[in-house]
A and B are shown apart, each in its own frame.
Chain A
Amino acid sequence: MGAGHGHVLYRESDSPVHRLPPEVKIVAMVVFTVAVVATPRSAFWAFGAYALLVAVVAALARVGPRWLLSRALIELPFVLFAVALPFLGAGERVEVLGLRLSEDGLHGAWNIVAKGTLGVLASLLLAATTTTRDLIVGLDRLHCPQVLTQIATFMLRYLDVLVGEARRMRVARISRGDDPRFLWQLRGFAAGIGALFLRAFERGERVYLAMLSRGYSGRMPEVWQGDGAATTGQWLVAATVPVVAASIAATAVVLT
C-alpha cells in the first residue's frame, strides 16, 4: 500500500514552502484565515492585499495559478448561498442591471465570496505543500490530543482500504454479470454498502493488528518525525505571512 505519503492535492516539489515544518505552516494558515475573517467587509483594498499575499506564497511554493484556481472551484456549492443573499436580504434596495437587490445582501455576498475564496486558497496551499503524514506529525507537535491524531491517522490510512474494497466489490459484481450503467450503479452500490463497511473493517483490523505486533503504541514512530521540530528561525520565517495579514486586518479595522 502506498498510502500515507501523498494525497490528491499534494504537489511534489522542493520549494522553500515545502521544506518548512508542517506545524509552522498549520499555525500560519490558521492565523491568516482568522485575520481575513476579522477584516471588515467594506475594506475592499485589504482583500486585494490578502490576495497578493496568497499569490506571493503560491509563487514561492511553485504552485501555478491555474492549478490553484481550478482546485478552488470546490467552494462553488458553498458560495451558492451568496448568490441568494442579494434577493433575500432586508433593508435598502438598489437597482443593479434592472434587478432590485438588497444592498446589505450584496455586501454580504461579497463578504462570503471574498473571505471564502481566500480561506480556500490558503488551505489549498497548505495541502499542496504538505503530505498527509506531515500534517499529522504537525498536529501532534502542536499538542493535539493523541486520541485525535490516532483517529486521523487511521482515517487517512483506511480511506485507501475503503476505496480499494469498493473497487474490488465492483469488479466482483461486474464479473458476475452485473452491467452497471450510470445511475443503476448506485443500486448495487447501496445494497452492498454494509458489506463494504464490514470488508473494509476486517481488512483494517488486520492492518491494525499488524501494526500492534510491530510495536505500535498509539503514537507514530520516531522515523515519522523526520527532520525534527521547527527551529526558531523557521518559526520567524513562516511568521511573516500571518504578521503581514494581521497588520492588514488591524489597519482595515482602524480605517473603517
Chain B
Amino acid sequence: MTAQLVEDQQTDSILVSAWKGFRTFVRLLAYNRVGFVGFLVVIFMILLSYAGPLFIELDTKTKIDRIYITPTLEHPLGTDHQGRDIWSQIVNGGKDVIYVAFLAALISTVIAVVFGTLSGFIGGWMDSAIMSVTDIILTIPQFPLLAVLAAFISLNSLTLLGILMGLLNWPTLLRALRAQALSLKQRDFIEAARALDLGVWHIVLRELVPNMMPYIVVSFALGMTFAVYQQAGLVFLGLVPISAGNWSVMIQLAWVRGAIFYKDSVWYIMAPIVAIAILQLAIISMTRSLELVFNPRLRASE
C-alpha cells in the first residue's frame, strides 16, 4: 500500500512540478521585502538592457542646436555634449556592463567553488598547491595588474575583459569556501556518506556544495557588483579602449568632455552613475532573498 502511495506522488507531470517549484521559489524570494524589491529591480534592469534596445535605438546623430538640454518629453534625460539623447544611451549601455560583470563573477565563482571545495575536502598536497597559488594571486594588486595587462593586450573584446577579471577575482572566495569545506567535512553526514561509499564526486557535489549554496550565491552577486566597479574604473581611467557606448564609457566621456563644468550637463554625467548605483543596490538587496531561497529550513513546501 505504501509503495502505491509513493507511486501516486510520482505521477505529477513535469509541468505541474515545475509550476510548484516556481511557486515555492517566488514565495521564498518574497519572504524578505527588501530582497524581493531588489530582485524585481534586477529583473527590470536586465529587461531594460536586453529588450530595451529593440525598441529604443541608440541616438548617434550630432545635433549642434540641442547640446545639454534638460529633460523634455522627447529627451527624458536630456542630451549630451553632441546633442544626442541620453535615455537611448542608458537603455543601450547596460548590456555590456551586465554581461562583463556576469561573466567575471561566473568564472571567479566556478574557480573558487571547484578548487576551494577540493582543497578543503581532499587536503594534503592538493590543498598546499591550491593554497600557494591562491596566496600568490591574492598578494598581487589586481587593479594595477589589470591596468598593465590592458596596456599589453588590446582589451577591445568585452568577453576577454570579463574572463581576465574572472581569472583574478576568485582568491578571497576560494579561501572562504575552503574554510567552509574544512568544517563541513567533519560533519557526521559526510562521514555517513563515506561509509555508504557514495564516492568523492557525490560527496562534493551533493553533500558539501548544497550546504555552501547560500554563501556561494551571495558571493556570486557580490562578485558581480565588484566586477561592475572594476570595469567602470578601468574604463574611466581610459585603460580599456572600448568603442561601444556603455555606462562606464558614458561616465568617462562625460568626464573627458568636461561635463562637470556646466550646470545643465549634470544629467549627462549623473545618468550613468545613477544607473550603475541602482543596479548595484538592487543586486546587493537581492542577496538577502537569494540566501533564503537556498536555505533548506525555508525551502520545504508549506
**Are A and B subunits of one complex?**
no
Q: Which B residues form the contact surface with A (CB < 8 A)?
A: none
